[in-house]
């Protein structure tokens, strides 16, 4: 059997490799956490770039559609009014105006529906962060 002094010397000899292993584990943990953070930040920037591009394209096409639609509606309204000018000009004007108001109300309703159905900003990033959080919680 070993004397207490010999046991003390043996435990001191074991400490440096244990401490080195602990430091290596902490270093690996830090590297893993930095890697996870880096991946999530890349995902965040990619999502932001996609959202900006999507918004710019949407605004451009909305402007084009709005301009073309306004011109078509204006010319169509004038055509209807001119056609009925001699017989029912007031009725034609009221019907065209009412139709335009109804069309505007439908367009606003569709727009509000689209805005409500839009996916949450940074949804994929938030999902991945939640998954990381749940995974770390389950590992404890």
Contact at 8 Å (CB) between 92 and 80?
yes
- In sequence order, the 6+-apart residues with CB closer than 8 A to the CB of 89 are 81
Q: What is the pLDDT of residues 53-103, one digit of tens each?
A: 989 998 999 999 989 988 998 898 899 889 998 998 899 889 988 988 998
Measuring CA to CA, which residue among 133, 125, 123 is closest to residue 41? Answer: 125
Query: pTM above 0.75?
Result: no
pLDDT of residue 114: 85
For 54, the token pair is 């999507």
């Amino acid at each position: 059997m070993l004397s207490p002094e010999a046991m003390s010397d043996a435990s001191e000899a074991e400490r440096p490799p244990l401490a080195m292993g602990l430091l290596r584990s902490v270093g690996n943990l830090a590297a893993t956490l930095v890697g996870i953070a880096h991946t999530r930040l890349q995902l965040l920037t990619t999502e932001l770039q996609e959202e900006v591009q999507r918004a710019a394209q949407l605004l451009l096409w909305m402007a084009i559609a709005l301009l073309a639609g306004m011109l078509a509606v204006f010319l169509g309204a004038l055509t209807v009014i001119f056609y009925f000018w001699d017989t029912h000009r007031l009725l034609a004007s009221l019907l065209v105006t009412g139709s335009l108001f109804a069309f505007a109300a439908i367009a606003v309703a569709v727009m509000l529906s689209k805005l409500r159905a839009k996916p949450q900003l940074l949804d994929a990033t938030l999902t991945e962060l939640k998954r990381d959080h749940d995974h770390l919680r389950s590992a404890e």
